[in-house]
Structure 1
C-alpha cells in the first residue's frame, strides 16, 4: 500500500496498536485491544473514562491537559489515527487542542500532530515537538480547508517518518470519507529532533480562554511503517494487507467465489528483485519481545553467525554463498548449508517455494533488510473483450479440493453463497485483492478458465500493477528444529489439502517475527510436536490464520491475527484465527485475534491439557471455543463481541478464571453438551494415537470451575448451561460457579443465568443472580442497574473473589491466592 501520499513513498505496514474502547473504565483509558495498558497520568483532572466504544474526556478544564500513551506500542516510523467527536461549538472560543503523539519518550519528548477547534466552526492543524518537561515548539500551522460542526466526528491522522530530517504530517477529514492528501507537513532537521522509536497515544489541551465541554475519542489505531527497498527491475508496489490510508481499518474480505475447473502446478523460480551490495555484518541483537505481533519487515535484527550462507537477488546459484559471493535462490542456499547452519537472506522479493529437510537450520533476514517471499507474479498483456479484460496464456492451475484430502470435496467446508472458496487462485490490482467469480464482468472481480488458459478482469488494468498467485507454498519444513525468522510471506495460492503456506512438519520448529498476509487458505500449519510460534502478524488468510494438528507441546505467543476466513468458508467446522485439533499440551498466551470471520481461538477434536491465558479476542464471530476436548485453564482473557464469548462444548475439567466477556450477541458464556461421545461407533474427531474410547477425553461436559469472571449485559444469556440431546441436567455436571460478577442492565433485558434441565429443552431462568446462588449453593455478585449504585457495588467486589490456585496464578503471572474479579491489567 502507499501510506501517506507524496510524503512517504511505498510503505509496508504493521499494526502495533488498536483500540475500539469497547469496555467500561471509570477513570483513565484502561487497556487497549492491542498495545497494552495506557499510561494515563492524572485521569481525574480531565474527567476521562471509557464507555460504549468511546473514551470520554468530560472535564478538561481551561489551562489543563491530558495524555494517554501506549508504552507497549512503540515505533520510529509510524502512522496513527483516531476519530474525534467534537464538543459543542459556538461563537465563544472553544480553545480545544487534540493531538496524536508519536515517538513519545519516557522523558516527555515527542511529536504532536494536532487539530485546534476555535469559534464558529473554525479549525486548524498544527505540528509541534515537545522537549523534556513541558516545553513545546511549534513547527507549522495550516487552516483546515472546511468548517466543522458541533458533535461532528472527524478522523485525524498523523505520520512521522525518517531522521535528519524527520518528516511529520497531519490531516483531518470527516469520518467515513476518503483520506485527502496530507494537509500539513513539516521537516524537522534541528538538533532537537526526536529520532528514537517511541510510544504512540493521544494528548489534549484546553486553552485558558476555552470552555470545558465534553468530547470523545474512538477507533484508535497505529501502524509501524517500513519503506520498501528500491529494486531493479521494479516489483510490486503492494505491501502487506493492512490498509492505513483511510479511517476504516477493518480487514478485507474476499467474498464472491463461484466456479471453474482443476489441478496443481508447482514451480520454483528465481527471485524477482535486487538487493543492496553486501556490506560488513553489523553487531546486532534479536528484537525485543515486548508487544503483540511481528516487528515490521525490514526491522528484524538477528545476528549473523560465522559460516552463514548468503542469498541475494543479485547473486548466482553457482557462487560460493559467502557474503561477497551470495547465491541467488534461498533453496540453493538451504541445499548448500549444513545441518545446524544459517541461511541469511538479503533484501528483496523471492518468488520461490523452499523445502527444508535438514535439522536445526535457520533461515533469517539480513539485519535491518526487508525480505519478502511472494507467491505471485506480475501479469501484463491484457486485451479488452466486451466489458472485461483478458490475459491469454495463463497456464497456472491449483488443486481446489474442498477438504484436507486431495480430490475429495466435503460439503461441510463450503458455504453455498461462496462456492469458489476453496479455489486458491488470487489476483491483486495495485495490492487490492479481487473477488473470484465465474465470469468477471464487474469491477473488483476476476475469473480463471483452466481449459482456455485465460485470466479475466472486470476492471481496466491500464496503468495498474496486476499480480496473480502462481505458487502454492512458501515453506515446506520436514527437518527437525528449523527456525524461520524476520521476514514476510505473502500471496501464496495454497490449496486446502496442502495445509499451509508455511507448513512446519519437522517438529521442534520455530516461527518468529514473521509477517504473513494474503494467503489463500491456511497461513501457518503445525503438524508435529514441540513448536514455538512467537511474535507473528498474520492477516487476511483465506481460511485459517494458524492451524495445528498433533502439534503436542506447542506454544503460540505474542501473535496478532486478523482477517481470517477472507474467502468465506463455512465458519464451522473449517476455520479460525487459531484452530488446533488432536493435540496435547497446547499453550496459547498473550495473543490478539481481531476481526476474524471465524472463531478467534478454537480447540477442537480431542485437545487435552491446554492453557489459554492473557489473550484478547475482539470482533470475531465467536471469541473462544473449546469443543470435544478436556483438561485445561482459560484465564485472564478479554473477549469482546461475537455470537458467543466463551463456548465450552462436550468438554470437561476446565477452570475458567478472571476473564472479561462483553458484547456477545447470543451468549456471553455457554456450556453445551450434544450427542457426540468418544465411544460412539464411527465418531469423528478422535486422536488416532489414543485408545478408543479415550478415557482422558470422553467428550463430556463436566467438572468445570467458573470463577472471578466479569460478564457483560449483552446477549440473550450471560451464562447458559444445557445438555441439548442426552438428558443430563446441569445439576449433574459438577459445576462450580462462584465469585463471578454479572453486570445488570436496567430492565434485566439480558438474562443472567439459564440452567438446563433433564429433558434437553427446558431451562430454569434466573433473572436475579442471588436467586440462582440460593438455589444452587453458589456465591456470585450482580451489579445494580443504576450507574451510581453500579460504581459503588464494583468498588469492593474483589473481597468476594475465589483465591487463585497456584497453577492458574502462575499462567496469569500473579501470586498464588490472589483475590480479584475480572482481568488483571
Structure 2
C-alpha cells in the first residue's frame, strides 16, 4: 500500500504526518483518491525556517540576480533570464529549450516549496510549455513537480525524478483544468520528506480558485532515489513543436520541514510508564510565547457574481497563505509598540512597523482589525501582507454604543468627526452647472457627504435633517455633535466611519496582499481610501469595500491589481490616472457608485484616464450603479480581454476620447445603457469574439462627436504629451469587428455607427464589420438592423442585414437571425458552428486559441 500524508494541526502549526509501509520501488497515486494505509511508523513535520522568498521585485537582465532570501541564482542560459515588473521571466531561444534557475546556496532534504507561475500565452501547437520547481538537486539529479499547459489551455501536473540523463515518472500526469486563458497564473506546491522511502506530494490550481488537497502523492524507494539534501530551483521546458513563448514566475518560496515526533502507529499498550502530557511537542514555529491572533472580524457581505464565466476577485480574506520571510516585522492587535516586532513579540500598530522598517522589508499582519490611517514615507519600498490563513482588516469605522432613545429615533452624542463634503475633485469647489456634467444627482443630495453608519452590518442612508430620519436612515447633527438614527440599535453592532484615509503611499514599489480595506470615509477630493501615485505598486488578494467615495486611486507607471475586489464603494471602485503600464488581472468590481453619483463626469466600477499601455483581463464588472469599465481622456493602447461586464446601471464597457484598443473575448450583457460603447476612439480598434447581448441601450455603439484632439479647448488632453498629440486625434476608426455575437437589446439598432458632428461617413471612419452573428427577437426590435453614418445629414438606416450589405458591402459573411428567443450567453456560445473568420495571430495570442480558429462570440 502507498504511504499517505494527512495534515495535522498542533499548537497552531500545520504539520504533516508521513506513514511508511511496504511499498514497491515507486508507489504513486492521485492523493485525493488514495486508500488508507496500514502503517508501522509515523513522522510528523512542522514548517521550519524559511529558505527561499522571492517576489522578483527587482530589474535584471542576463540572469535573475539574487533572491532576498535564498541568495544568488545560477542559470543555464543567462540571456534567457530577466526580472522586472514583479516577475522572473524565462524566455527560451528556440523550441525544445530547457531553462533552469537554481539556488546553490540553499540545501534541504525535508522541504516544502511553492511558486506562482504565469503563462502569458497559451500554446497553439506541439506538446505545450512546462514549468515547475526542483528539490534535492545535486550532481545533475533532482525531483521535480511540473505543470504543463497545452493547446486549448489544458493544465496538467506531474512529479518526476531526474538522474542525469534519465528521467523517471514518479507520479503520472494528472489533468487539473482546461480552458486556461492567456495571462493566467497557476499556483504550484511541492514537498519532499524522508529518505527511505522519499515521500513526495504536489498540487496545482489556477490562481483565484480554492486551494485543493494534495493531488499527487508518491513514495520513491528505488535504488536511485534522492535521499539526501540538495538545492532548490525553478525550471521550464518548451516542447519542440511549440512556438517560442516566455514563462514567468511571480513568486518562489521554500521552507524547511522539521520532524517533530516519531511514534509507533498502533495504539500503545498500557504499561507502568507514566502517561505523557497530552499536548504534543510543538513545532519550532509554534512556540508558546507567540501571542494568539485577535478574533476574526466580521466578514463583508457576499457579492452576487451570477452570470460570470469564471472566478475572479480576491481570495476570501483569511484564505491566503503568503510565506513569512525571515526577518519579517510582525504586527498583532494583541501586541505592543514597545515590543520587538517579531512573531513572538509583535508590534500593536501597523504604522509603528512602517516607521521602523527598512526599505525592502516585509510587514506581516496577524489576524484582527486595525483602526489606523497609514502613511508610507518616500524611499521605503515595503510589502504589507496578512499572516497565512488569518483574516486581516484595515477598518475606518468604530463602534458607537452610547445610544439613547428620543421619541421615534435614537441619538448618540459626542460624535465629533466633521468631514469635507466637496462634490468634485477640487476641495471647496461647488458642483458643476453644465447639464450632464454635474456630480450630484438631485435625487441623492447627500452623495458627497462621507459620513457612514452601519447597524448589524447593514448600511444606513444619510439624510439632510433630523426631521427626515426614518428606519434605515441617519442624520449627523454637526452643531450638536450628535448622530441621529432611525433604526433601533439595541443589541446590534453599530459602527460609524471616523477615519478618512487608509493608506497614503509615498514610495515606489509598495505591495499589499491579503487585506480588506473597508469602511473609510474619504471625501471626493481625497481621491480614495488608498492613494498610490508612485508607481510599481502591487495589490494582490486585496478587497476595497464600503468606502465612502473611491476604493483605490493609482498613478505612476507599472501598477498591478491582481485578484482584487472593489465593492460597494460610494463613487468608484478603482480610479487610475497617469498610470502607464497598468494591469488589472482578476479584478471584481461590484456595487460601486453606491452613493448614486451621476454617471458623468466620474462614477462606476473602474475608470482609467490619461494612461498608456493598459491591460484589463480576466475581470468582472457586475451590478455597479454606473458604468462597469470606463477608459477616458487620452488613454492609449488598451487591451480588454476575457472580461464579463453584466447588469451595470450605465454602459458595460466604454472607451472615450482615446486611441488604439483590442477588445476580445468579453461578455457584455444586460447593462442599463450601452453594452460596448466606442466614442471618439482613434488609432484603430479590434473588436473580436465578444458576446454583446440584451443591453437596454445599444449592444455595440460606435460614435463620433465634435471633440478633436487638436482643439486645446476640449477637455481630456494628457499634459505629459506634446500638443497636439499625433496619437490622439479623437477621430473614430478604423475599427475591425469580427466573430462577435450581437443579440437582442432594447436599442434601436444592432449595428450602430453615428457621427454627431455630421462630418465623417462610416466608410471614411473605416468601420469594417464582417463574420458576425446578429440576433433580434423580431423583425422590428430593435427597429433597424443598422444605423450607418453618411457624414452630413442624418445617418442611413437599414431594416435588414441584406439591405445593409447591398448598400455598403459590409457584413457580407455575417448572419442575422430574426425572431431569435432570448438565451443565456452560454447557449449563445453554441452558435459557434456558424461561419466565422479565423483568428489572426495577434488576436489568437491574446485569447489563447490557435491562429485560424473560427468561433463566434466569447468562449
Which bracket does the TM-score occupy, shorter chain normalised? Answer: 0.5 to 0.7
Q: Which residue of 2 aligns with 1:241?
A: 301
CA separation of 1:644/1:793 partners in 2, compared to 1, >3 Å: closer, same or farther? Answer: closer
* Displacement of 1:243: 6.9
Q: Which residue of 2 aligns with 1:451?
A: 479
Residue pairs, 1:674-693, within 5 angstroms: 674-693=705-724
Q: Which residue of 2 aligns with 1:695?
A: 726
Q: Are 2:529 and 1:509 equivalent residues in the alignment?
A: no
Which of 388, 400, 417 is equivalent to 2:409? 388
Q: Are 2:627 and 1:605 equivalent residues in the alignment?
A: no
Asked if the contact 1:242–1:249 (Cα under 8 Å) also holds between the matched residues in 2, the reply is no
Q: Which residue of 1 aligns with 2:754?
A: 722
Q: Which residue of 2 aligns with 1:362?
A: 383
* Displacement of 1:71: 9.6
Asked if the contact 2:293–2:332 (Cα under 8 Å) also holds between the matched residues in 1, the reply is no
Q: Are 2:651 and 1:649 equivalent residues in the alignment?
A: no
Distance (Å, rounded) in 1 between the aligned partners of 2:412 and 2:547: 22
Q: Which residue of 2 aligns with 1:258?
A: none
Determine helix, strand or coil for the equivalent of 2:842.
helix
Distance (Å, rounded) in 2 between the aligned partners of 1:709 and 1:781: 10
* Displacement of 1:473: 1.1
Q: Which residue of 1 aligns with 2:430?
A: 409
- Normalised by the length of structure 1, the TM-score is 0.65
Asked if the contact 1:541–1:565 (Cα under 8 Å) also holds between the matched residues in 2, the reply is yes
* Displacement of 1:684: 1.0
The gaps in structure 1 that reach 5 residues or longer are: 1-35, 38-69, 77-102, 108-228, 251-289
Distance (Å, rounded) in 1 between the aligned partners of 2:656 and 2:533: 25
Distance (Å, rounded) in 1 between the aligned partners of 2:472 and 2:350: 34
Q: Which residue of 1 aligns with 2:704?
A: 673
Q: Are 2:814 and 1:781 equivalent residues in the alignment?
A: yes
CA separation of 1:72/1:694 partners in 2, compared to 1, >3 Å: closer, same or farther? Answer: closer
Determine helix, strand or coil for the equivalent of 2:385.
strand
Asked if the contact 1:239–1:431 (Cα under 8 Å) also holds between the matched residues in 2, the reply is no
- Write the deviation string for residues 438-497 of structure 1: whole angstroms up to 9, x where unpaired: 124200001112222111111221221210001111111121111100111110001111
The gaps in structure 2 that reach 5 residues or longer are: 1-151, 154-204, 217-290, 433-437
Distance (Å, rounded) in 1 between the aligned partners of 2:634 and 2:693: 28
Asked if the contact 1:484–1:512 (Cα under 8 Å) also holds between the matched residues in 2, the reply is yes
* Displacement of 1:518: 0.5
Distance (Å, rounded) in 1 between the aligned partners of 2:417 and 2:505: 24
Q: Are 2:579 and 1:551 equivalent residues in the alignment?
A: yes
Determine helix, strand or coil for the equivalent of 1:615.
strand
- Write the deviation string for residues 555-584 of structure 1: whole angstroms up to 9, x where unpaired: 001111100100000012211211100000
RMSD in angstroms over aligned alpha carbons?
3.0
CA separation of 1:572/1:409 partners in 2, compared to 1, >3 Å: closer, same or farther? Answer: same
* Displacement of 1:230: 10
Determine helix, strand or coil for the equivalent of 1:671.
strand
CA separation of 1:734/1:370 partners in 2, compared to 1, >3 Å: closer, same or farther? Answer: same
Q: Which residue of 1 aligns with 2:164?
A: none
Residue pairs, 1:483-502, within 5 angstroms: 483-502=511-530
Distance (Å, rounded) in 1 between the aligned partners of 2:504 and 2:830: 54
Which of 306, 313, 328 is equivalent to 1:308? 328
Asked if the contact 1:242–1:539 (Cα under 8 Å) also holds between the matched residues in 2, the reply is no
* Displacement of 1:388: 1.7
Asked if the contact 1:773–1:780 (Cα under 8 Å) also holds between the matched residues in 2, the reply is no
CA separation of 1:682/1:783 partners in 2, compared to 1, >3 Å: closer, same or farther? Answer: closer
CA separation of 1:669/1:442 partners in 2, compared to 1, >3 Å: closer, same or farther? Answer: same
CA separation of 1:787/1:706 partners in 2, compared to 1, >3 Å: closer, same or farther? Answer: closer
Distance (Å, rounded) in 1 between the aligned partners of 2:312 and 2:364: 25
Determine helix, strand or coil for the equivalent of 1:599.
coil
- Write the deviation string for residues 11-50 of structure 1: whole angstroms up to 9, x where unpaired: xxxxxxxxxxxxxxxxxxxxxxxxx99xxxxxxxxxxxxx
Distance (Å, rounded) in 2 between the aligned partners of 1:359 and 1:602: 32
* Displacement of 1:390: 1.4
Residue pairs, 1:576-615, within 5 angstroms: 576-615=604-643
Q: Which residue of 1 aligns with 2:393?
A: 372
CA separation of 1:73/1:342 partners in 2, compared to 1, >3 Å: closer, same or farther? Answer: closer
Q: Are 2:836 and 1:771 equivalent residues in the alignment?
A: no
CA separation of 1:780/1:348 partners in 2, compared to 1, >3 Å: closer, same or farther? Answer: same
Q: Are 2:788 and 1:755 equivalent residues in the alignment?
A: yes
Asked if the contact 1:511–1:533 (Cα under 8 Å) also holds between the matched residues in 2, the reply is yes
Distance (Å, rounded) in 1 between the aligned partners of 2:579 and 2:209: 33
Determine helix, strand or coil for the equivalent of 1:651.
strand
* Displacement of 1:416: 1.2
Q: Which residue of 2 aligns with 1:626?
A: 655
Asked if the contact 2:293–2:334 (Cα under 8 Å) also holds between the matched residues in 1, the reply is no
Q: Are 2:295 and 1:295 equivalent residues in the alignment?
A: no
Greater shift after overlay, 694-703 or 598-607? 694-703
| Count of matched residue pairs | 566
Determine helix, strand or coil for the equivalent of 2:613.
coil
Residue pairs, 1:97-246, within 5 angstroms: 238-242=298-302
Q: Which residue of 1 aligns with 2:774?
A: 742
- Write the deviation string for residues 131-159 of structure 1: whole angstroms up to 9, x where unpaired: xxxxxxxxxxxxxxxxxxxxxxxxxxxxx
Distance (Å, rounded) in 2 between the aligned partners of 1:543 and 1:408: 17
Distance (Å, rounded) in 2 between the aligned partners of 1:500 and 1:663: 33
Q: Which residue of 1 aligns with 2:444?
A: 418
Asked if the contact 2:778–2:820 (Cα under 8 Å) also holds between the matched residues in 1, the reply is no
CA separation of 1:726/1:771 partners in 2, compared to 1, >3 Å: closer, same or farther? Answer: closer
Distance (Å, rounded) in 2 between the aligned partners of 1:243 and 1:633: 29
Asked if the contact 2:829–2:857 (Cα under 8 Å) also holds between the matched residues in 1, the reply is no
- Normalised by the length of structure 2, the TM-score is 0.62
CA separation of 1:454/1:530 partners in 2, compared to 1, >3 Å: closer, same or farther? Answer: same
Distance (Å, rounded) in 2 between the aligned partners of 1:763 and 1:320: 73
Q: Which residue of 2 aligns with 1:88?
A: none
CA separation of 1:796/1:555 partners in 2, compared to 1, >3 Å: closer, same or farther? Answer: closer
Q: Which residue of 1 aligns with 2:858?
A: 823
CA separation of 1:731/1:610 partners in 2, compared to 1, >3 Å: closer, same or farther? Answer: same
CA separation of 1:794/1:678 partners in 2, compared to 1, >3 Å: closer, same or farther? Answer: closer
Asked if the contact 1:501–1:519 (Cα under 8 Å) also holds between the matched residues in 2, the reply is yes
